[in-house]
Structure 1
Amino acid sequence: MNSQNTIPKDKGIDNTLKLLTEGYLFIKNRGEKLNSDIFETRLLGQKAICLIGEEGSRLFYNPELFIRSGAAPKRVQKTLFGINAIQATDGEKHLHRKELFMSLLMNPERIEDLAKIFRDKLSRAAAQWEEAEEVVIFEEMKNIICSSAFQWVGLPLKDDEIKAKAQNFIDMIYSFGSVGPKYWKGKKARCREELFLQRIIKKVRLGELICHSSSPLYVVSSYKEEEEELPEAMAAIELINIIRPIVAISTFITFSCLAIYEYPALRRELRLKNEDYYEYFVQEVRRFYPFAPFVGARVKKDFIYRGVNFTQGTLVILDIYGTNHDPKIWSNPYEFNPLRFRAKERNKYSFIPQGGGDYLKGHRCPGEEITLELMKVFIDFFVNGIEYKLPKQNLSYNLHKIPTLPESGFIICTVRKKKT
């Protein structure tokens, strides 16, 4: 990789369209072509520096050198994150609000509460699947996980509300990197959910809706910054930012099914319910299959790195997909091998499927432990709880689409619950 003091430059007046069309491979392809893990390009009409690998990740997650404010385009904030949400905060404000998320998303008792809700809903769903001609795993998972998340938050959904709510959250997630109708669909979905939750939060604050004091709904509704409650609009945005990543686990679960299908030799270990192997397996799913493509920040102050000038305000993009497939970190990175995690410690800069750095002080996603737990619950259910057949279908996924998913959504049929 490059060791020169001059940064390699990607050709083109503006490469935003190429990023949208090349998707997960945009940074990786250019890094290989330029033989460099750092290069300059132009995106959204401005200079951008792209980083790949553990060294770049370690630099990117240094809070003394980078900020998130102004990094995410407004179009992404209007669909995925919400305007001025936690992802766009820095300093003391970020640290204080991050404690809110940590208290809810990384509390072992609360994680187990959510896992139990999810496990129960899967069991009930299996009985319905026995009567269905076919079951699309992604469609089922987004509904079941959304219903589980709302119940866990403190807002159980009625049966006739689940599909619409789940679709709203999926539209927010899958509008990332989109233009035209798909983008507008995601924007409208966020607006609907923000207005809905604003009304709910107002009722909680007025005492018109009673919820348990430990529930995320109550905790967010009563959360204060500088002795002031968050405005209802911002509280609603942050409540969505608790629910939305949980619903997004439906993507990881769908890829888990694909891994079980593509690597049938691994089923034996999964049937044994070995807790360590489950950990290795879900981590390899998160590393191997595409989820978050990249993440952006802006330079906080001028500095020099490897002879390259980083000037204040410059947009910097870290390649998440490329780092998780970097041959300098991972041997045979395009081989699906759960046992690689048996001997490898979880490094907060080299293994970054949901972002990297420090949980408490940085911008690393606090929902990773929930992701791991729900994936394990589902895999146990899928391997040990049901029998099924796979009809002919298109299980390919397109790395040029952000986000991406197996084309069929993973279809199973002739489902039967296993006898215990």
Structure 2
Amino acid sequence: MSTMPSDRSPDSTLAFLREGYRFVGTRCDRLGTDIFQTRLLLEPTICLRGREAAELFYDEERFVRRGAMPTRGQRTLTGVGGVQGLDGADHHDRKAMLMSVMTPDAVRRLGQIFDDRWRARLPDWAGSGPVVLYDEVGKLLTEAVWAWAGVPLADADVPARTAEMHAMIEAPAALGPRHWRGRLARRRAERWAGALVDRVRAGAAPSPESSVLRVVAGHRDGTGQLLPRRIAAVELLNGLRPTVAVDRYVVFAALALHDHPQWRDRVRGDDAATEQFVQEVRRHYPFFPVAAARVRRSFQWQGHTFPQGRRVLLDLYGTNHHPGLWPEPEQFRPERFAGWRDDPYGLVPQGGGDHLTGHRCAGEWITIELMKRAVANLTGAMSYRVPPQDLALDLGTMPALPAGGLVVDGVRPLP
């Protein structure tokens, strides 16, 4: 039996918050391993990276999600009692509910709504001077996913709803005011979402039959009971918030087009090249840093002991940059995805494993569709300049984003 390599620090929480996306990978490189143990939030934790690690991590016979995510993440990002923290039959039932609205036609419909609103906004951008892409795309995605999900939204409320989604997304790894803003945003959002669910159930709020709102409000669990009001609110937000978070990927796509301008012509009108480009953006740029689980029952793997109840983190960013999986992983090379077939354990920016039954993000297909639409608009629907600004990504900040949200100016709609 081999001894698992160990990070010798008494507790690595502050180092994790300081180093961010590089925390696990830096220690793996230093220790010459893809597995080590440490302490985070004063609790023993096993950290993993790589394809074999991902395949292990998404084995439901060995791991559970209940109690794995720290409370600060549940009370800001995912909501307490949401699908991300469920296991077994409860998880399969709730995941099936969310996946039922992710049909190919529904995904394309959301993409078209986003596309239409982007093009309709171009004249405003053209007349407004500098535009912060992150802010504007966030509002476009809020408008689009609210409309697609059957959730009423007045134009005047778009900035506030977008700000709530952003606050929840930015809060889990934040300290001080940024974290508390996320908690407040979560409470506010769950209140209005719960009230909306009540109105739908009472027949007082019209919503299309197959919309996210109607599906969540009307869903019955394995015992035939409607979801409790607060849980339904959490799951409704799980159909909205992740879509707004795609604004980060859109910013990363624009950043990649700026840094690698040769790809502007290659993706224009070429769906295969756009697919390669989008997948490389998802692999290369930082999105979720890690995923968390707990050991269901003690087992051995590669000579190491995984004790029952032990928290385990899979390094998503590190797996997407693993040199054993991705040659020259720090290089942006979309052509690596030419002829690529989906590997559920190799490319894991939004989790791995099976979409339908596992803990892989239900909205991954939506992410890809929206990114492709955004790339088409950035290269074919508008011209613009990227003025001098700080475009560096601080990998110690989770989630990462260019400091100014990527400013563009001189926007002109193209015929």
* Alignment TM-score > 0.5, same fold: yes
TM class by smaller structure: over 0.9
Question: Which among 351, 364, 370 is matched to residue 374 of structure 1?
Answer: 370
1:20 aligns with 2:17: yes
Q: TM-score, normalised by structure 2?
A: 0.99
Shift of 1:127: 1.1
Shift of 1:113: 1.3
What is the letter of the counterpart of residue 204 of structure 1? Answer: V
1:232 match: 229
- How many residue pairs end up in the alignment? 414
Q: Is the 8 A contact 1:176 1:403 kept in 2?
A: no
Structure 1: segments with no counterpart, 5+ residues: none
Helix, strand or coil for the counterpart of 2:100?
A: helix
1:261 aligns with 2:258: yes
For 2:67 and 2:385, the matched residues in 1 are separated by 48
1:126 match: 122
Shift of 1:219: 0.7
Question: Which among 23, 27, 30 is matched to residue 30 of structure 1?
Answer: 27
Helix, strand or coil for the counterpart of 2:241?
A: helix
What is the letter of the counterpart of residue 361 of structure 2? Answer: C
Helix, strand or coil for the counterpart of 1:160?
A: helix
Structure 2: segments with no counterpart, 5+ residues: none
2:186 match: 190
Helix, strand or coil for the counterpart of 1:224?
A: coil
Q: What stretches of structure 1 move > 2 A for 4+ residues in a row?
A: none
For 1:24 and 1:315, the matched residues in 2 are separated by 18
For 1:210 and 1:315, the matched residues in 2 are separated by 43
Question: RMSD of the TM alignment (CA)?
Answer: 0.9
Question: Which among 89, 103, 106 is matched to residue 100 of structure 2?
Answer: 103
What is the letter of the counterpart of residue 310 of structure 2? Answer: T
What is the letter of the counterpart of residue 357 of structure 2? Answer: K
Question: Which among 57, 63, 72 is matched to residue 60 of structure 1?
Answer: 57
1:204 aligns with 2:211: no
Query: Cα deviations across residues 345-390 of structure 1 (Å, max 9, x unaligned)?
Result: 2210011000001112210001111000001111111100001112
1:89 match: 86
For 1:156 and 1:125, the matched residues in 2 are separated by 20
Question: Which among 134, 138, 141 is matched to residue 137 of structure 2?
Answer: 141
Query: Cα deviations across residues 52-108 of structure 1 (Å, max 9, x unaligned)?
Result: 100111111100000000100111100000002111100000001110111112x01
Helix, strand or coil for the counterpart of 2:173?
A: coil
1:216 match: 212
For 1:210 and 1:132, the matched residues in 2 are separated by 36
Helix, strand or coil for the counterpart of 1:211?
A: coil
Q: Is the 8 A contact 2:96 2:357 kept in 1?
A: no
2:282 match: 286
Question: Which among 67, 73, 93 is matched to residue 70 of structure 2?
Answer: 73
1:309 aligns with 2:305: yes
Question: Which among 333, 337, 341 is matched to residue 341 of structure 1?
Answer: 337
Q: TM-score, normalised by structure 1?
A: 0.97
Question: Which among 352, 357, 365 is matched to residue 353 of structure 2?
Answer: 357
Q: Is the 8 A contact 2:277 2:334 kept in 1?
A: yes
Shift of 1:311: 0.9
1:250 aligns with 2:251: no
